[in-house]
Amino acid sequence: MNWFERAFGGHRGHSAQRGHGRSHEGGHGHHGGQGNEGWGRAPAPAAPRPPAAVICPRCNAGHPEGARFCSQCATPLVPQSCAQCRQALVQGAKFCSQCGAAAGT
């Protein structure tokens, strides 16, 4: 008995037969798919992801609601607001469209 048979209890009922011939019913892929549960099959599909609530304006990666930065390119996902009137600024705007204040102030 080799180390493998000692570790896993050997082949009960097949002690006179050696190897991987056709004597093993439902064996190791020798019978055209009979008894090969899971072998050669695609993995089970992953659980469906919820639709992305926030889309990155730079790289279009989807993120869950409440995300503040893009996980792909680190772009802020929360719109910047005007320091004067608190109006949300468009991404990349230099001036507020509501009051005309500079976006950096």
Q: What is the pLDDT along the chain (105 residues), one digit of tens a residue?
A: 677 677 777 655 554 455 555 555 555 555 554 555 667 788 777 777 667 788 888 899 998 988 989 999 998 888 888 889 989 888 788 999 999 999 875
Residue 59 sits in which domain range?
52-95
Q: What is the pLDDT of residue 101?
A: 92
Q: What is the pLDDT of residue 37?
A: 62
In a domain, 20, yes or no: no
In a domain, 38, yes or no: no
What is the total count of domains within the chain? 1
* Chain centre to alpha carbon of residue 44: 13
Q: What's the pTM value of the predicted model, to 2 decimals?
A: 0.39
Distance (Å, whole) CA 39 – CA 69:
41
In a domain, 39, yes or no: no
